[in-house]
């Protein structure tokens, strides 16, 4: 039982990283980056290619991969989101999805069709925590998530750029009026969302294996927890993600792994039925 909770927490942290990406782009631009799952996969695939095929040490490979995903996010926003949002169209839903699918298939062509293992010393020998075994990497995952959360808080609170981002999220028109480059802020939020997903991919890769199709289901689950937690509530998303990881593991433990998705997504629907704005969201008053 405790064993399942522990593994579930690590998985939940990864969901939260990908899910926070949905949050970031939503607050700045009211758009969602549906290529998040693919960005996660790309982060893991690039790291694996650098580490295994080019013999890079893990840390620089990880950093390069995350930076590249930042560039990917900028490009995605510039070419697949901005043109549509400008015209007031919802086509960004389709275009981000399409980019995700294209990326997945290109990765399959380059990376190959079979899954591969991403070696990591932290995922070799388990340590015992309270009678349950866990890989050190699974313990590192929550630490990384916490560090990112603290860094984000500091960034938002005490840098010009962070404040500008917050202002954009708060009121787009007013931000434009005071001279904030809103386009650039939205681009940045896309870069940050892709980078978060990449971090998730690099962390989960050594535990479950890397393949060109690894991002789909995790991207979808992350979207579910983003909705359940409330798209505008980072803390809510974090809690929802951890809860989803744990609950899903416990369900798998008792009813078999085929029941996981049935109950997991079923629960999502139930929560949304009871609280349409998510667990922590407040229904917005609309002035008419």
Q: Which residues bind another protein (CB under 8 A)?
A: 3-4, 7-8, 11, 52, 104-105, 108-109, 113-117, 119, 123-126, 132-135, 207-209, 211-213, 216-217, 249, 252-254, 256-258, 260-261
Q: Which of 223, 218, 221 is nearest to 200 (CA)?
A: 218
Smaller CB separation from another protein, 77 or 104: 104
Residue closer to another protein by CB (options 27, 251) is: 251
Q: Looking at beta carbons only, is 221 or 233 nearer to another protein?
A: 221
Tokens of 273: 């039925």
DSSP codes joined into one string, 185-240? HHHHHHHHHHHHHHHHHHHHHHHH-B-TTTHHHHHHHHHHHHHHH-TT-HHHHHHH
- C-beta of 252: minimal distance to another protein in Å? 6
Q: How far is the CB of 217 from another protein (least distance, A)?
A: 6
Give least dist CB 230 to another protein, A: 24
Q: Is 160 helix (H, G, I), strand (E, B) or coil?
A: helix
Under 8 Å between Cβ of 190 and 25: yes
Tokens for 9, please give them: 């927490």
How many angstroms from the chain centroid is the CA of residue 9? Answer: 15
| Residue with smaller CB distance to another protein, 252 or 278 | 252
Q: Is the dihedral of CA 97, 101, 103, 104 positive or negative?
A: positive
CA–CA distance from 87 to each of 14, 23, 171, 181 (Å)? Answer: 34, 22, 20, 19
DSSP 8-state secondary structure symbol assigned to residue 54: S
CB of 101 to another protein, least distance (A): 8
Question: In this complex, which beta carbon is closest to another protein, that of residue 232 or of residue 248?
Answer: 248
We find the least distance from the C-beta atom of residue 44 to another protein, in angstroms, to be: 13
- Residues with Cβ within 8 Å of 47's Cβ and at least 6 positions away in sequence, in order, are 58, 61, 62, 65, 118, 201, 202, 205
CB neighbours of residue 62 within 10 Å: 24
Least Å distance between CB 275 and another protein? 24
Q: Of the two residues 183 and 261, which places its CB atom closer to another protein in the complex?
A: 261
User: Smaller CB distance to another protein: residue 165 or 241?
Assistant: 241
Nearest approach, Cβ of residue 75 and another protein (Å):
21
């Amino acid at each position: 039982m405790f064993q399942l909770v522990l593994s579930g927490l690590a998985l939940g942290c990864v969901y939260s990283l990908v899910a926070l990406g949905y949050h970031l782009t939503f607050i700045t631009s009211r758009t969602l980056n549906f290529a998040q799952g693919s960005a996660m996969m790309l982060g893991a695939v690039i790291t694996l290619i650098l580490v295994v095929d080019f013999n890079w040490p893990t840390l620089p490979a990880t950093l390069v991969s995350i930076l590249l995903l930042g560039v990917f996010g900028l490009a995605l926003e510039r070419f697949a989101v901005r043109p549509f949002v400008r015209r007031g169209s919802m086509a960004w839903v389709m275009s981000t999805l399409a980019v995700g699918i294209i990326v997945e298939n290109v990765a399959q062509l380059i990376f190959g069709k079979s899954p591969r293992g991403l070696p990591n010393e932290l995922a070799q020998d388990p340590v015992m925590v309270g009678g349950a075994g866990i890989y050190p990497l699974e313990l590192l995952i929550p630490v990384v998530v916490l560090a990112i959360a603290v860094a984000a808080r500091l960034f938002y609170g005490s840098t010009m750029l962070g404040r500008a981002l917050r202002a954009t999220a708060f009121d787009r028109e007013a931000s434009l009026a005071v001279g904030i480059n809103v386009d650039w802020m939205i681009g940045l939020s896309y870069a940050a969302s892709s980078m978060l997903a990449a971090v998730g991919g690099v962390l989960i890769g050594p535990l479950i294996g890397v393949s060109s199709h690894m991002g789909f289901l995790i991207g979808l689950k992350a979207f579910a927890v983003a909705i359940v937690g409330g798209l505008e509530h980072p803390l809510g998303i974090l809690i929802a993600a951890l809860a989803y990881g744990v609950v899903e593991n416990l369900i798998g433990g008792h009813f078999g792994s085929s029941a996981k998705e049935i109950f997991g997504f079923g629960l999502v629907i139930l929560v949304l039925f009871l609280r349409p704005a998510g667990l922590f969201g407040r229904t917005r008053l609309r002035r008419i």
